[in-house]
Amino acid sequence: MEFQSVLALFWLIAGGVSFYFSIGNARVWTSIAVGFFLILLGEIIPGAMPFLPGLDNAYVLAMGHIIGTISILVMSHGFQEYYVFTRTLDFEGSKRFVYLSVLGVIAASLVFLLINPTPTEEVRKVIRIVENTNWVFLSLINIDLIRKIYLNVKDTPISNGFIAFMVVFACIFLWKGSQLYIDVFNLEMIKDTFPLRYEISFWCKNIGNVLASITVGGTFLYLGKLLR
Amino acid sequence: MILLPRGNPVKENIDPGKVDLAGALGKMRQGKFTGYLRFDFPDGTGVFIYQEGRLISALYQSERENLIAYDGIARTFAESLAGSGVLNIYRLSTDLAYSIHALLHGEMLHKGQDLQLIDIKSLLVRMREDKSNGCLRIYSPEHIALIFYRNGNPLGFFHDGSTEIETTADSSMSVAREPGAKVDVLVTRGNIETSLADLMETADVAGLWDNALTERRRQREERESTTSRTLEMKESERRQKALALFQRSAQAHLGKLGVSLVEKEFEKMKLNGGQLNEALLSGFYGNLSKAAKLVAGPSKIELMLDEMKKGFKGLSK
């Protein structure tokens, strides 16, 4: 319970900082910051605060995983936009469009859940595997993409912020990769047979989670300082 | 410098560049004008002589050239249109008009004869006996005098400094007494009245005038084009300097991405040889600031833009 509370605190800070950052900065940062903010909404509140009311609801839990998936997709899209900007120096769109699009996708996902049978635990596990698969592979892709962005903006004031993002995605990879490993091999059910693997995966997941929350909050604070 | 008697002034101190000379010459013809038009230019003098509406003589003389007839007309037209010319029109008697023709175009019977070696009185007697038509030009290093003859009789006397034809020889003959004085004797032979063609009949004066106008227009266009090219080159140089200044500033504050942003926004202004002004630059600064927000904070951007604005003001001075 204590660990969950600390985790929740870290993610609240990280989510708050990233959302605030999305408001006060250039449009291209909106997708990235909103993506990180969605981690707080979709993943951490159900996971870090199991004591909140209504969190045993199958739809709330399923939506948590779906929002988590939307989160990595939105921020990956944001980094792609940033990369395109560093190559072409062109960018377009508006912040409002980003916010509305994200809300629209979340609403459409909710409708999709509601018109289908109640997501059982087995269904939710499948959704979670889909979510974590996205996180794992897109984290790796994003690390490479951010490396390329860093090379393009190496001598600008913001450049070191992208190194911080690489660290963030390394932590997320550790966190989500461990969770995916546990789910794919159903290690929780067979932890007595493979205690070491389970223990390593479990602690990697938790440490990765904490480090991710700290690095996300720290990175956005650092970016805020660089862009002052 | 051509010395001619002024006669009776018809028009003086006209700018020939502002007159339709072909039309004016036509009017002279219609009005049966007798006299001459004198064009004074910085580098030469043009003289058109009329006798009862017939353009009997045209001359353009400068230090290097002595053009007559059509060439003289064409050149006088061209010089008139070039500006800085003065046109004076004087009416003369028919006889004097012929004499002026003789002065300008006549046969040189004696040239540069030293008056101390020649008996001027005998010369005048011989002119009368021979019933000569023409002109005696008597000149010393300081003065010049003209004596016009018609059928051996003096028509009038004229010397530099006088404004009218004089009827007495006193002033003119006083030149002959000056040390180093010389005389030129210019005569016209045969029946001059019938031998002189009307240049306006044989020449397409309107065509010559049109040619001069066309040439003048071409020269002006060429000059304008050259001026415009020079201005364009200066503006292009200013643009290049401004771009280099902005690039340096962007490199210092935003790195090479900043340089690329400057180049892109500069290109977006689509100057196409146009002038780089504050209004255009205001848009440029705005767009650059917007793009720069992706890689730098407002304080850094502000600093960079201030540097650019100050630098550009320095370029404009």
Per-residue pLDDT of chain A (228 residues; tens, 9 = 90+): 577 778 888 888 888 888 888 777 778 888 888 998 898 887 665 665 566 666 778 888 899 999 999 999 999 999 999 999 999 988 888 889 999 999 999 999 999 999 999 999 999 999 999 999 999 999 999 999 999 999 999 989 889 999 999 999 999 999 999 999 999 999 999 999 999 999 999 999 999 999 998 999 899 889 888 887
Q: Which ipTM was obtained for this model?
A: 0.78
Query: What Å distances lie between residue B74 and A57, A87, B9, B13, CA to CA?
Result: 106, 66, 24, 21
Amino acid at A153: V
The CATH number of residue A39's host domain is: 1.20.1070.10
Q: How crowded is residue A50: how many other Cβ atoms within 10 Å of its Cβ?
A: 12
Domain ranges of chain B: 8-203, 231-316
Whether B298 sits inside 8 A of A91 (CB atoms) is no
- What is the predicted pLDDT for the residue at B277? 80
pLDDT at B229: 85
B268 touches chain A (CB under 8 A): no
Q: Are the beta carbons of A154 and B255 separated by less than 8 Å?
A: yes
Contacts of A91 in chain B (CB under 8 A): 291, 294
Segments in chain B below pLDDT 50: none
- Identify the closest residue of chain B to A152 by CA–CA distance: B257
Residues of chain B contacting A85 with CB distance shorter than 8 Å: 294
Q: B263: nearest CA in chain A?
A: A89
Q: Are A161 and A168 in contact (CB under 8 A)?
A: no
Which residues in A lie closer than 8 A to residue B250 (C-beta atoms)?
Answer: none
**Rounded to whole angstroms, how far apart are CA atoms B305 and B265?**
13
Q: The domain containing residue A158 runs over which residues?
A: 2-226
Looking at residue B71, what is its pLDDT? Answer: 87
- Tell me what pLDDT residue A103 has: 95
At B88, give phi and psi (nearest 5°).
-125, 140
B123 half-sphere exposure, CB direction, 13 A CA radius = 24
Confidence at residue B192, expressed as pLDDT on a 0 to 100 scale:
57
Domain count of chain A? 1
Contacts of residues B125-130 at CB distance under 8 Å and 24 or more positions apart, as own/partner, are B127/B152, B127/B185, B128/B152, B128/B153
Bridge partners, residue B46, by sequence: B39, B60
Residue-level pLDDT at A51: 65
Beta strands B107-114 and B86-91: pairing type?
Answer: unpaired
Nearest CB partner across the interface for B257, out of A26, A86, A228: A86
